Amino acid sequence: MHNQDWNLRDIPGASNAPADLTPIIAESLAHNRGPDPDNLDHRQSPDYGVVATLEGAILEIFLTFRRGSAYCCPEWECHVGLRPGKRWGNLRRKMNDAGIAVKPRLELRGTCMIEEGTNFFDFSKPHPDRSGWYGFAPTEKAWSYKINYSEGVD
């Protein structure tokens, strides 16, 4: 084995080292199709920043809504899809496929960063030509929030 082929899980005594779940979470986010402010008939994959790790039963995700990109809203669950109290079967399958051991029940610790200038629907401005669509407004300042909840058991 070459050094560049090493994985933290291959190192003796490092079995509890955090697993990098960034590629798995990024792939899931890439399937999202959000609004395109320039073409209402087109949906686009939003430009997220994401870093994710799993250490024991703790899934930690840092999600960034980036400046200049358009999103429907800044709500965590709308974008990540890991609902509190629900079983996260799709994520578990992807981790299993990647050879990552998963505890019976996971706890999610999320940090959501919204950069200044990120565009979200402005729900006070319904679109005149399209029901369920709205105008966009950039955030005036950066802000963040944290979430913390557990996966369900069924």
Residues 40-57 have pLDDT tens digits of 778 888 899 999 999 999
Distance between CA atoms of 108 and 149, rounded to whole angstroms? 5
**How many structural domains is the chain composed of?**
1
37 close to 136: Cβ distance less than 8 angstroms: yes
Confirm whether pTM is higher than 0.85: no
108 close to 59: Cβ distance less than 8 angstroms: yes
pLDDT of residue 10: 45
Looking at 20-34, 37-51, 53-67, 137-151, which range is the least confident one?
37-51
Report the 10 Å Cβ neighbour count for 12.
Answer: 5
State the residue range of the domain holding 87: 3-150
Distance between CA atoms of 68 and 59, rounded to whole angstroms? 28
Distance of CA 76 to the CA centre of its chain: 7
Distance between CA atoms of 59 and 92, rounded to whole angstroms? 11
DSSP, collapsed to helix, strand or coil, labels residue 50 as: strand
Mean predicted confidence (pLDDT) in 8-19: 56
Distance between CA atoms of 7 and 149, rounded to whole angstroms? 29
